[in-house]
Amino acid sequence: MISIREWRANSSLDRLDCDLLLKHLLNCSRSVIAASPEKLLVEADIAQLENWKKRRIAGEPIAYILGKKEFWGLNFFVDDNVLVPRPETELLVELAERCIRDGQSILELGTGCGAVAIALVQELASKGKNVSLTATDVSPEALKICKRNLENHNIKIRLFESNWFSNISGSFDMIISNPPYIENGNPHLLALGSEPAVALVSGDDGLDAIREIIKYSSTHIKNDGYLILEHGCEQGTKVQRLFKRAGFSNVSTEKDLGGRDRVTLGKMDH
């Protein structure tokens, strides 16, 4: 048997990762872990921690190892069929919440684990606003995970498989998406090897999905409705140009918490 302190010291993981693994294993808070460094770990616990440690060192995101990720203060089940929700994507929720009105309809394309959709519906409901949200994903595995998160949070939306607009009919007051937007061959992808490429990579300039969404959005957004898209921090100018060319007005790009261009929005003037 070894103590928490000894395992931590020899783990070669950073402190946060150690704490998250210990907290998950022992089912207690981080402060309890911090307050009990001499607590002894039994052999089975050590074996489990060593297994997780190997996966982490091999580059797997901690969220996949724990099977969960926090977003907008809520817990979401995740595995390697979906992108791990990023804190910067909370900006998409914030802007959607600001632009939508009670009783309106929203379409989210590429929902993954459903974090954006669920956070948005919860946030609006807490402010007394009801919306009808439709979410889609191209991956049947991602849809299963989204369904599980919807059940966990007791949220009801329409959810179905669609490759962007392939199965969408009708029009909405708002369309939102965090599509794949990294360009083929970008070295940043090496660090993201455990996550589904379909959720990350989109053509030679990273804009294939964004171009497709913008092009077809104009026929699926009601007059005065909004399109709100997350994109790479160097894509703001190009994305704005695509919005304007497709007939959107009031086009602007908002910065994420790190001060980087992250989300562009515009209003449809038919």
Per CB under 6 A, residues contacting ligand GLN are 86, 178, 180-182, 192, 200
Nearer to ligand GLN, 11 or 264 (CB): 264
- Tell how far CA 60 is from the center of its chain: 17
Minimum distance from CB of 179 to ligand GLN (Å)? 6
Q: Which is nearer to ligand GLN, 25 or 182 (CB)?
A: 182
The nearer residue to ligand GLN, 125 or 191, going by C-beta atoms, is: 191
Picking from 259, 256, 238, the residue whose alpha carbon sits closest to that of residue 93 is: 256
CB neighbours of 261 closer than 8 A, spacing ≥ 6? 231, 233, 234, 235, 236, 253, 254, 255
- Listed in order, strand segments (DSSP E) in the chain are 2-3, 40-41, 68-71, 74-77, 105-109, 132-137, 158-161, 172-177, 221-230, 248-255, 261-268
- Least distance between ligand GLN and beta carbon 88 (Å): 6
What DSSP designation does 201 have?
B
Which residue, 180 or 225, has its beta carbon nearer to ligand GLN?
180
Contacts of 157 (CB under 8 A, 6+ apart): 117, 121, 132, 133, 134, 135, 150
Shortest Å, Cβ 165 to ligand GLN: 18
Cβ proximity to ligand GLN: between 130 and 186 the closer is: 186
CB of 217 to ligand GLN, least distance (A): 17
- The count of C-alpha atoms lying within 13 angstroms of the C-alpha of 140, restricted to the half-sphere facing its C-beta, is 0
